């Protein structure tokens, strides 16, 4: 290589314009967001060939972090500031904040061999993601791995979920004003949708109005007594709350979820592996440790094995208990520390849906908290669990 070329490359590096130099100092915003239930992901919205962003789209909320790589690749940096809550909480006046990467989504390609009406129907039923990648079947056995980097500056009073598994409810499961539960066909649901607006699990009369521009719009009128399946608490969550790091499993064997049943174990009050129960639900703190004891300023890797609980569908029974196993690994004083924090415990974990489960990680700030949150996640992998021979 000529001397002049070497000098030019050296000057580019000093100026910060060489690719390696530029990337090593970069936090690159990932601003695209997808409503995975109601929309397919466009090519420019797919991150690293496997994720889509969900939640608030402010530039600081999800970023590729070249300053904190994981296994030679940039990690994902998640941040919510005090004013970044954009969702209604579970109780009146509460707020929640979300900035996550979702592993499950559909693309236009998933609908290419289906009738033209299939996509628009799935949008109305909010089941678009059922057609895509990233979910596992109901009652399956799976292995998951991911890593989190918690900075020592994170406030111990945060209330955030950094990894969670969700169910995939079917909104064609409904109850009429008399309380009769039924599974509608797609055509029956679409007829219902013509005259109703659904907010969460509640149906309202669809009222036609003309706005100031002369356009026809539809607004929600009175609640009409119909309910639709909308889901509930995540069947499995890893997070920080009430001064603890915790792992919580939730189970709901009711065929049509009762959203008024708030059976939910509290990290500070609930004993480990002592489920809080209602008639149909169980909520279990599978593990907890004081926030101060959680390893900071290093990568902490979790290996999670799950046998999802098998449910009896319309019979609303438990056909087979689930199982949860979690190993936590991190460096300390030059050594690798490996802790078996949940040891093949039989547990109720899952939802009584026909569909299965999917993974998200990032920040899901709950409990009306507005405490700033910032940490990194990386290294996600999933596969069917290999049974010992």
pLDDT-above-90 percentage for the chain: 88
pLDDT value of position 54: 98
CA atoms within 13 A on the CB side of 31: 5
The average pLDDT across 208-231 equals 94
pLDDT > 70? residue 81? yes
The average pLDDT across 367-373 equals 94
Quote the CA–CA distance of 167 and 173 in Å, as a whole number.
14
Domains annotated for the chain, with CATH where assigned, are 28-169+233-384 (2.60.120.200), 173-228 (3.10.540.20)
Residue 361 has a CB neighbour count (10 Å cut-off) of 23
At 156 the three-state DSSP class reads coil
pLDDT > 60? residue 3? no
Kindly indicate the confidence band of residue 24, based on its pLDDT and cuts at 50, 70 and 90. low
pLDDT value of position 94: 83
pLDDT one-digit tens code per residue, 10-23: 344 333 333 434 46
Q: For residue 152, what are the contacts with CB-CB under 8 A and spacing of at least 6?
A: 296, 297
pLDDT > 60? residue 145? yes
Quote the CA–CA distance of 198 and 352 in Å, as a whole number.
21
Structure tokens at 311: 């449910």
Quote the CA–CA distance of 174 and 170 in Å, as a whole number.
9
pLDDT value of position 57: 95
pLDDT value of position 100: 98
CA atoms within 13 A on the CB side of 377: 26
Strands 95-102 and 52-55, bridge-based pairing: antiparallel
pTM metric for this prediction: 0.92
Structure tokens at 362: 């990032």
Cα-Cα-Cα-Cα dihedral of 214, 220, 226, 229, to 10°? 100
At 380 the three-state DSSP class reads strand
Quote the CA–CA distance of 299 and 149 in Å, as a whole number.
5
Q: What is the mean pLDDT of the chain?
A: 93
Structure tokens at 237: 């969550």
pLDDT one-digit tens code per residue, 298-347: 999 999 999 999 999 999 999 999 999 999 999 999 999 999 999 999 99
At 317 the three-state DSSP class reads coil
pLDDT one-digit tens code per residue, 259-289: 999 999 999 999 999 999 999 999 999 999 9
pLDDT > 50? residue 26? yes
**How far separated are the first and last CA of the chain, in Å rounded?**
58
pLDDT value of position 9: 41
DSSP string, 50-77: TBEEEE---TTTEEEEEEEEETTEEEEE
CA atoms within 13 A on the CB side of 141: 11
At 27 the three-state DSSP class reads strand
pLDDT > 80? residue 251? yes
For residues 156-195, one letter each, b for 16 or more C-beta atoms within 10 angstroms of the residue's C-beta and e for the rest, the string is: eebbbbbbbbbbbbbbbbbbeeeeeeebbeeeebbebbee
DSSP state of 133: B
pLDDT one-digit tens code per residue, 96-122: 999 999 999 999 999 999 998 999 999
Show the DSSP H helices in the chain as ranges: 3-15, 19-24, 117-125, 186-195
Residue 334 has a CB neighbour count (10 Å cut-off) of 5
pLDDT > 90? residue 387? no
Quote the CA–CA distance of 385 and 290 in Å, as a whole number.
30
pLDDT-above-70 percentage for the chain: 93
């Amino acid at each position: 290589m000529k001397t002049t070329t070497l000098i030019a490359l050296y000057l580019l590096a000093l100026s910060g314009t060489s690719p390696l130099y530029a990337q090593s100092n970069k936090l690159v915003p990932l601003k695209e967001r997808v409503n995975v239930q109601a929309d397919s992901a466009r090519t420019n919205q797919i991150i690293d060939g496997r994720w889509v962003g969900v939640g608030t789209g402010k530039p600081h909320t999800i970023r590729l972090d070249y300053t904190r790589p994981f296994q030679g690749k940039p990690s994902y940096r998640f941040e919510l500031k005090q004013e970044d809550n954009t969702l209604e909480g579970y109780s009146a006046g509460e707020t929640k904040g979300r900035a996550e990467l979702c592993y499950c989504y559909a693309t236009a390609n998933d609908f290419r061999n289906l009738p033209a009406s299939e996509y628009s129907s799935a949008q109305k039923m909010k089941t678009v993601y059922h057609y895509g990648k990233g979910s596992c079947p109901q009652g399956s056995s799976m292995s998951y791995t991911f890593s989190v980097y918690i900075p020592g500056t994170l406030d111990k009073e945060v209330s955030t979920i950094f990894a969670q598994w969700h169910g995939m409810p079917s909104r064609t499961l409904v109850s009429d004003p008399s309380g009769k539960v039924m599974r509608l066909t797609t055509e029956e649901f679409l007829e219902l949708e013509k005259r109703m607006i659904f907010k969460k699990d509640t149906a309202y009369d669809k009222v036609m109005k003309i706005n100031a521009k002369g356009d026809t719009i539809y607004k929600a009128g009175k609640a009409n007594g119909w309910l639709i399946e909308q889901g509930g608490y995540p069947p499995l969550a890893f997070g920080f709350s009430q001064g603890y790091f915790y792992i919580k499993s939730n189970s709901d064997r009711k065929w049509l979820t009762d959203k008024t049943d708030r059976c939910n174990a509290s990290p500070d009050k609930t004993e480990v592996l002592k489920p809080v129960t209602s008639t149909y639900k169980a909520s279990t703190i599978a593990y907890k440790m004081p926030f101060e004891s959680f390893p900071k300023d290093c990568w902490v890797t979790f290996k999670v094995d799950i046998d999802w609980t098998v449910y009896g569908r319309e019979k609303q029974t438990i056909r087979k208990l689930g199982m949860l196993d979690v190993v936590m690994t991190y460096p300390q004083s030059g050594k690798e520390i490996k802790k078996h924090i949940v040891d093949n415990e039989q547990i109720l974990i899952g939802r009584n849906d026909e569909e299965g489960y999917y993974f998200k990680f990032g920040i899901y700030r709950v409990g009306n908290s507005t405490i700033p949150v910032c940490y990194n996640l990386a290294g996600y992998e999933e596969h069917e669990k290999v049974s010992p021979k």
